Structure formats: C-alpha cells, structure tokens
Amino acid sequence: MTFWKIAYAHKWVTLDQLRQVVQTAARPHGEITPEEFTAITGQDFHSEG
C-alpha cells in the first residue's frame, strides 16, 4: 500500500487509475483492498459494474 499512497499523494496516479488496482471479484489479483483504497484516498470504494 505504501507505494500507492505515495503515488496518489504526489499525483502520479489519478483516483480512477487507483480504483483499477483494487481487489474485487472481477480483479481478484488487485494490489490493494477496498479498505486500503479508502485509507489512501479518504473516499469509499464503490465497484463500477
């Protein structure tokens, strides 16, 4: 999670790009959990689709 937290803080990735690395049923090999997404962005994760 540390890499993604730094990347988001420095605007190396957008919110939408970060959303793409979250573990979901459609992406079981995602790199961060929905809870980590919330910790990094301060926003709740809502799967699209």
Confidence of residue 13 (pLDDT cuts 50, 70, 90): very high
CA pair distance 12, 28, nearest whole angstrom: 24
CA pair distance 27, 4, nearest whole angstrom: 17
Q: What is the pLDDT of residue 49?
A: 53
Whole-model pTM over 0.85: yes
Confidence of residue 1 (pLDDT cuts 50, 70, 90): confident
pLDDT > 70: what percent of the chain? 96
All structural domains of the chain with their residue ranges: 2-41
32: left (phi over 0), alpha (psi -120 to 50) or beta: beta
Check pLDDT > 80 for residue 48: no
Cβ contacts of residue 6 below 8 Å, gap of 6+?
Answer: 12
